[in-house]
Each structure stands twice: as structure tokens, then as C-alpha cells.
Amino acid sequence: MRIRRRVGRRPVIFVAAVILEGSGLAVQSVRSFYWFTALRFVVSCSVTAVFFVAFVLVIETVDTGMRGFCGMFVEYGFAASMLVVLGIGRFRPSWRFVQLGVMLPTSLLLSCFV
């Protein structure tokens, strides 16, 4: 039996989002480049897990005629996030502040599980 049938997608998204939030907030407080690199690796792995599981969940629930539109619409989030990071960086050029600003959407995601 596949893991998606045993566990489900929502718990997987929740666990990956918790790991993302914890490692993302920990990135702000480290002083060592090695810890920064290791934690950024964890952040990137958990972002990938959240994105792909949520993407599959959305595509499975949408009608087949709208799947192409929804798949394309998800990519608009990447473009918008680049503009948001640019705005945060212009407003406050500290990388720690930018990291905190980038982690706010994850906090919103976790609030959906409460």
C-alpha cells in the first residue's frame, strides 16, 4: 500500500510545514556558515515537499478541463514571491529580516491546520 493512502496528504503537508517553519526561523539565528547551509538545505527540502504535495492535492480536486489553468496559475505564485522578496529587500536590506518575511506565508499555512 502506498504511503498516500495510509497517511494522507494533509498530515504530510502539516509535517513538512512544521519542519519548514522551524528550520526557516532557525536560519535567522545561526552565526555559522555551515549551520546556515545545512538549515537552508532543510528549508529547501521542506519547501519542495509542501509544494509538490499541495500541487498534487489541488490538481486532483480540480475538474480535468481546468487542470491546465490551475497548474499555470500556481506558477504565478513564484513570480509574485520574487516581487515580494524584492520589496522586502528594498525596505529592509538585512538578510535576517528578509528570511523572517519569507517565513510569514508558512505561518499562515500552519494557521490553516489549527
Q: pLDDT tens across 30-70, in order?
A: 999 999 999 999 999 999 999 998 888 888 889 989 998 98
Q: Considering Cα of 102, then 103, then 109, then 112, what sign does the dihedral take?
A: negative
Q: Domain range for residue 59?
A: 3-111
What's the pLDDT score for residue 39? Answer: 95
In 3-state terms the chain splits into helix, strand, coil percentages (rounded to 5) of 85, 0, 15
pTM of this structure: 0.83
Burial 47-84 (b: 16+ CB within 10 A, else e): bebbeebbeebeeeeeeeeeeeeeeeeeeeeeeeeeeb
CA 44 to chain centre: 8
